Structure 1
Amino acid sequence: MEWNTLAQRQPYVVKLLTNSLKKERLAHAYLFKGNKGTGKKKISLHLTKAYFCRVRKDSEPCGECPDCKRIDSGNHPDVHLVKPDGQSIKIEQIRQLQKEFSYLGLESKSKAYILEHAERMTNQAANSLLKFLEEPGQETIAILLTENPQQLLDTIRSRCQILTFAPQSQNELIEALTEKDYSNQLARTAAALTNDQAEAEEYLNDEWFVIARKNVLKLGEELFERPQRALLALHEYWNPHFKEKQQVEIGLDLLLIWYKDVFLTQLEEEHSIVYSDHQNILSVQALQSSQSRVRNQMLHILEAKRRLNANMNLQLLMEQLVLRLQEG
């Protein structure tokens, strides 16, 4: 993988890092923050290759020298990857890292370490790392990866150059998912719920989610075509499937997408709808409903989501929502 390829996803981050490499002005510590699936680890490894490669051209590592190949294979003696041991990164792991760095570099004077999920350090580990960051070696580079930078000590954040990784766009995510042989319809649905590829794949690999989508589409049709059956539909197939609070929340998000699709159809923006496999009924509903009615229906769902977080009875919540959606 080259910087040009990585720049397609993270142009700002790549430009800053390649400029620093060309000018030989890399920081001694970086904090890469961003959602899962934004390329933090890929870019950290490519940066490490560029840092160690002795025959790189401008900012691009050669990919063929012993340093590049060892980093690719994960066994470079002077590059250390630290991951949580169980739920956290423990002080013993940081001490071991410091011990490794006290030795002379086996291949060169340079050393690098990458901390995955840096926010999961215990307080002891974080304070130990802080001393390490305050007294960096002459040719040491540290890269901390995190999805939750606010959970890191302010003092650690202040000693790193912070780079923010942009989330994946919805279209990019749909393309990435369909390349992995997920159906376009399911990929579009998952991408409407999250811009995190790993989370999207969790949804798509879960048969519960596939059935949830079908049930929500069925309820959307019932509410429009046979509103008098909607309460019965809750007892037939909604309540048995959406049993827990988290499941109901996903169901409400999927139902909200239905009404957003109706609204987009009214605005003649059909290219943006998620449930394109139900475009016919969406078009009929868009014609027979006013925009203000559809807006109110979306507001009712958002209100139900708010009440859900207030620990309301799940069945009562859905019954009240269905009645409000029928009224418009």
Structure 2
Amino acid sequence: MTDWKQLEERQPTVVRMVMNSFKKDRLSHAYLFDGGAGTGKKDIAVHMAKTYFCQERDGIDPCQTCKDCKRVDSGNHPDLHLVEPDGQSIKIDQIRKLQKEFSYLGVESNKKVYILNHSDKMTTQAANSLLKFLEEPGKMTMAILLTEQKQHILPTIYSRCQVLTFRPLSVSNIEKELVNEGITSQLAKLASQLTNDKGKAKELATDDWFAQARAIVIQLTEELKERPHQVFLTIHDKWLAHFKEKSQLDMGLNLMLFWYKDLMKIQLQDERIVYADYKDKLERYALQFPRKRISEHMMAILDAKRRLSANTNPQFVMEQLVLRLREG
């Protein structure tokens, strides 16, 4: 169950500002949460609503057990309204529906909270309609607008909100959260290196395709060192059969790049390696690889990524890459 302490680990500056507002009873009538996907905007907005509605909270901490807290958790609190884009945009009819709700007293109390996800996707008509609420807010009504592109928010709306900027999540933070959700440390470590969007990282780490991709990359790097005569068979039978799309091929090369980065880190006595479960083997390989050779391998992989982005035939790119890695 999410609490302020966990959220503070994700977004310390934002959460401290929000917590301070609760402590001083100086909540704004409208917030604009600006930040990339997966940075925790929605989680913090919902937890703000829970704290706002909870009548049995301890300081700023919601009790988590009362009727209001449970309804927020289940997504059916009658005075918490979450608006998502209808198709590609938030339309004026959705805002008008909210305005109609504005005119009613709260079902449980006079408090109301409205969360507009992807608020930058409001149509011009919807945004102009929303201005009425922002200009004449109800005394106990709070709006929280979430956006990944604040430049698309109307200046008249932007100026009426308290803007809080969400920073990208750190690699270690994403990894920790994934592990806490039951994902193996091996996959959590790898997925957190590929994206700072926790949602996308979780999607990757729970996909069997990703686990298989990791295994194929490790097999290929081991064969390049120990069984070089087998690498072309692996490329044709496993690599090209698994990494079919351009984005998948690029990811496969990224996973391979992390292996050689780990070799470099071990030589530099940096313990923050990605393939930590293969540490013993990496340490053995690191003793056999001159640093210059590791750098050349990394450059070869980066060159393969560039050639793939230029639409060079994937089979040709991979065959040329393993030739270079085998010769190095």
- Distance (whole Å) between structure 2 residues aligned to residue 181 and residue 62 of structure 1: 25
Which is worse superposed, 253-262 or 77-86? 77-86
In the other structure, the counterpart of 2:226 is 225
CA RMSD of aligned residues (A): 2.8
* One-letter amino acid matched to 1:292: K
- Distance (whole Å) between structure 1 residues aligned to residue 218 and residue 151 of structure 2: 38
In structure 2, relative to structure 1, the CA distance for the partners of 1:280 and 1:66 (3 Å cut) is closer
* One-letter amino acid matched to 2:103: S
In the other structure, the counterpart of 2:272 is 272
- Distance (whole Å) between structure 2 residues aligned to residue 281 and residue 114 of structure 1: 50
**Do the aligned residues in 1 keep the contact of 2:183 with 2:206 (CA within 8 Å)?**
no
* One-letter amino acid matched to 2:147: T
* One-letter amino acid matched to 2:314: L
- Distance (whole Å) between structure 2 residues aligned to residue 277 and residue 172 of structure 1: 20
Q: Percent identity?
A: 57
In structure 2, relative to structure 1, the CA distance for the partners of 1:237 and 1:40 (3 Å cut) is same
Deviations 1:175-227 (A, max 9, x none): 33333333222222222222333222222332221211111111112222344
- Does residue 162 (structure 1) correspond to residue 172 (structure 2)? The answer is no
In the other structure, the counterpart of 1:128 is 129
Which is worse superposed, 117-126 or 243-252? 117-126
TM-superposed CA distance for 1:68, in Å, is 4.6
- Does residue 23 (structure 1) correspond to residue 35 (structure 2)? The answer is no
- Distance (whole Å) between structure 2 residues aligned to residue 73 and residue 229 of structure 1: 53
TM-superposed CA distance for 1:286, in Å, is 1.3
In the other structure, the counterpart of 1:311 is 311
- Distance (whole Å) between structure 2 residues aligned to residue 243 and residue 63 of structure 1: 46
**Do the aligned residues in 2 keep the contact of 1:110 with 1:139 (CA within 8 Å)?**
yes
- Distance (whole Å) between structure 2 residues aligned to residue 235 and residue 130 of structure 1: 59
- Distance (whole Å) between structure 2 residues aligned to residue 44 and residue 85 of structure 1: 20
**Do the aligned residues in 2 keep the contact of 1:221 with 1:281 (CA within 8 Å)?**
no
In structure 2, relative to structure 1, the CA distance for the partners of 1:206 and 1:68 (3 Å cut) is closer
- Distance (whole Å) between structure 2 residues aligned to residue 153 and residue 291 of structure 1: 53
TM-superposed CA distance for 1:282, in Å, is 1.9
In the other structure, the counterpart of 2:40 is 39
- Does residue 286 (structure 1) correspond to residue 286 (structure 2)? The answer is yes
Q: Normalising to structure 2: TM-score of the pair?
A: 0.86
Q: Normalising to structure 1: TM-score of the pair?
A: 0.86
In structure 2, relative to structure 1, the CA distance for the partners of 1:243 and 1:154 (3 Å cut) is farther
In structure 2, relative to structure 1, the CA distance for the partners of 1:252 and 1:151 (3 Å cut) is farther
- Distance (whole Å) between structure 2 residues aligned to residue 237 and residue 256 of structure 1: 18
**Do the aligned residues in 2 keep the contact of 1:178 with 1:184 (CA within 8 Å)?**
yes
Deviations 1:146-170 (A, max 9, x none): 3444454454334322222344433
Gaps of 5+ in 2: none
In structure 2, relative to structure 1, the CA distance for the partners of 1:238 and 1:107 (3 Å cut) is closer
* One-letter amino acid matched to 1:260: K
- Distance (whole Å) between structure 1 residues aligned to residue 156 and residue 228 of structure 2: 58
Deviations 1:74-125 (A, max 9, x none): 4443321112334433222111111111234444443320112323434443
1:114 match: secondary structure: strand
1:259 match: secondary structure: helix
In structure 2, relative to structure 1, the CA distance for the partners of 1:224 and 1:148 (3 Å cut) is farther
In structure 2, relative to structure 1, the CA distance for the partners of 1:110 and 1:324 (3 Å cut) is same
Gaps of 5+ in 1: none
* One-letter amino acid matched to 2:198: Q
- Distance (whole Å) between structure 2 residues aligned to residue 55 and residue 147 of structure 1: 34
Residue correspondence of structure 1 range 164-243 to structure 2 within 5 A: 164-243=165-244
Which is worse superposed, 235-244 or 26-35? 26-35
- Distance (whole Å) between structure 1 residues aligned to residue 216 and residue 208 of structure 2: 12
1:31 match: secondary structure: strand
- Does residue 248 (structure 1) correspond to residue 249 (structure 2)? The answer is yes
